[in-house]
């Protein structure tokens, strides 16, 4: 239901309660994605969305060096289950969606959110300090209608409260009726993973070069671990390449 005159818009996304699923504690991303898929008339189970997202695994589908990285962090006692932004973007692109990464600090954000919803398309949100996926299903005056997999029904929350404290970053999602499943190439995955990494760092408020700079005086803990995993020369080449692209 969309009514511009009264300041209301509700796309009617239906929440999927994550704790009804196996490994439900890590399933918020899959549930938010599923709510979006069903809104567009897509079957997330038939499309194998959960497996493609790697929700129950440690790292994203098709992630370079996945086995080595999983083993490394497992030995340190860290679990990385959940849904990563790079996989969200890759899977959405795979299934014919268009996405726009939007900062919570962007000028005119409130109007942009309302305009996107009124155009008939929902919004995915990474929130709760980088730990939870939600969706925005609409708005009612100054309140946003939130689809949250920890709740059985959609809830309304004031714009200032949600964007100010619960929201870390937004992904504006859209899909045309004529859209089809894409044939994904390595380059397609690489592009979406790069966008996902940009999104992570946008949420963290840092530049990619500040975090992934490798070698010399710029070497960081993250860079050193990558060098240890893949070899110093290879790690430095990758880091320098990333820095040239993203600064």
Give the tens place of pLDDT for each residue, 103-112.
Answer: 999 999 999 9
Q: State the virtual CA torsion across 220, 226, 231, 235 in degrees, nearest 10.
A: -70
pLDDT at 124: 98
**The tokens of 184 are what?**
């994904």
Of 200, 202, 224, 201, nearest to 213 by C-alpha is 224
pLDDT at 242: 47
pLDDT at 68: 72
Cα separation of 102 and 166, whole Å? 15
Q: Is the domain of 14 the same as that of 121? A: yes
Q: What's the pTM?
A: 0.77
Task: Answer whether residue 29 is part of any domain.
Answer: yes
Q: Is the domain of 122 the same as that of 94? A: yes
Q: Is the domain of 172 the same as that of 220? A: no
Q: Is the domain of 182 the same as that of 212? A: no
Question: Angle at CA 241, nearest 5°, toward 239 and 87?
Answer: 75
pLDDT at 58: 55
Residues of the chain with pLDDT under 70: 1-6, 23, 56-67, 70-81, 205-247
How many residues does the structure list for the chain?
247
Per-residue pLDDT tens for 24-71? 778 999 999 999 999 999 999 999 998 888 876 655 555 666 667 766
Task: Answer whether residue 191 is part of any domain.
Answer: no
Q: Is the domain of 91 the same as that of 150? A: yes
Q: Is the domain of 94 the same as that of 133? A: yes
Residue 72 belongs to what domain range?
A: 2-186
Phi first, then psi, for residue 29 (nearest 5°) are -65, -45
3-state secondary structure of 121: coil
Q: Is the domain of 98 the same as that of 68? A: yes
- Counted domains in the chain: 2
CATH code assigned at 20: 3.90.70.10
3-state secondary structure of 138: strand
Q: Is the domain of 125 the same as that of 220? A: no
């Amino acid at each position: 239901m969309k009514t511009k005159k009264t300041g209301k818009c509700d796309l009617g996304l239906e929440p999927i309660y994550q704790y009804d699923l196996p490994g439900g504690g890590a399933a918020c991303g899959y549930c938010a994605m599923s709510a979006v898929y069903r809104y567009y008339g897509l079957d997330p189970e038939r499309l194998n969305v959960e497996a493609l997202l790697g929700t129950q695994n440690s790292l994203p589908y098709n992630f370079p060096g996945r086995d080595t990285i999983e083993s490394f962090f497992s030995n340190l006692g860290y679990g990385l289950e959940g849904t990563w932004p790079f996989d969200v973007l890759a899977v959405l692109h795979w299934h014919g969606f268009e996405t726009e990464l939007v900062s919570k600090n962007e000028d005119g954000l409130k109007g942009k959110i309302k305009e996107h919803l009124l155009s008939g398309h929902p919004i995915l949100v990474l929130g709760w300090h980088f730990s939870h996926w939600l969706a925005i299903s609409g708005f009612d005056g100054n309140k946003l209608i939130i689809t949250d997999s920890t709740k059985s029904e959609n809830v309304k929350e004031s714009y200032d409260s949600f964007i100010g404290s619960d929201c870390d970053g937004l992904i504006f999602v859209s899909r045309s009726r004529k859209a089809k499943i894409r044939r994904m190439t390595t380059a397609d995955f690489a592009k979406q993973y790069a966008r996902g990494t940009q999104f992570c760092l946008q949420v963290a408020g840092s530049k990619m070069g500040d975090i992934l700079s490798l070698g010399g005086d710029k070497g960081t803990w993250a860079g050193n671990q990558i060098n240890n995993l893949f070899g110093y020369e290879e790690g430095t080449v990758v880091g320098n390449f990333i820095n040239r692209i993203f600064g």
